[in-house]
Amino acid sequence: MKNYQKRVIKDKKDLEVKIIKLTEFLCSNLSVNLTSKQRELMQKQLYIMLQYTTILETRINDFI
């Protein structure tokens, strides 16, 4: 496996951890303290992160 392929796999794993953490935060009582604007931005961020992980998954599948 080439170095760039290893980096893509690592990036996807790291991103999945961040997705889990952000999702847990948004579902927790801690997020109640956010302004509506900040909550909306974080939800958009999560949506984009999910899209990005799908793209990385497609790239990884092409390596095989």
pLDDT at 33: 94
| Rg of the Cα atoms in the chain | 15
Question: How many CA atoms, within 13 angstroms, populate the side-chain half-sphere of residue 51?
Answer: 6
Alpha-carbon span 33 to 20, nearest angstrom: 20
For the chain, what are the domain ranges?
A: 3-63
**pLDDT (tens place) for every residue of the chain, 64 residues total:** 999 999 999 999 999 999 999 999 999 999 999 999 999 999 999 999 999 999 999 999 999 7
